[in-house]
Amino acid sequence: MQERLEALEQLVETALKAVGYHLADLELSNHGKMLRIFIEKSNEGSDPQGGVSLGDCESASRQIQRVLEVENVDYDRLEVSSPGLDRKLKSAADFTRFAGQQADVHLRALVNGRRHVVGTVARVEGESVELDAEGGAFRFDLANLKRARLVPRL
């Protein structure tokens, strides 16, 4: 399943680049028959918090459907949407991009006696992230990351 997911991510990323979008996340459910794709605009100068409209989702969806049909990818349902204000953070690039914003982080193993911390993304060095959290700096390795999301600014 992991191999299929990686191949599908690469295929979708390539399809989205052709129409000016970037793959933020891809989820498979219902035994791989349901594809949920989260997109972002590729514009470097755009606001990292938003900018994906319903029209963007429609355009991306049409492009992805064409590519999946040509590549004979078997699926029953496709959903394309924005990652939202509380988007997932998965990679060093995600944490770097959202430096200065608050993140809600859950870890696999304890770090300084904690598995859950909410703090401001301070810096990313290689595969290590530092948050400014209550009680001071909190540093963890991405290999220990269970899940993380941005805390929306409303």
Q: DSSP string spanning 10-25?
A: HHHHHHHHTTTEEEEE
For 22, the domain range is 2-81
One domain for residues 69 and 98: no
Last residue of a domain, one of 34, 57, 81: 81
Mean predicted confidence (pLDDT) in 35-61: 80
Residue 104 forms part of a structural domain: yes
Q: How many domains, in total, are found in the chain? A: 2
One domain for residues 140 and 70: no
Q: Where are the alpha helices (DSSP H) in 34-153?
A: 54-70, 92-97
| 47 pLDDT more than 70 | no
One domain for residues 126 and 72: no
| 10 pLDDT more than 60 | yes
Put simply, whether the predicted model's pTM sits higher than 0.75 gets the answer: yes
pLDDT digits (tens, 9 = 90+) for 76-102: 999 999 998 899 999 999 999 999 999
Task: Report pLDDT for 3.
Answer: 81
Residue 86 forms part of a structural domain: no
One domain for residues 96 and 77: no
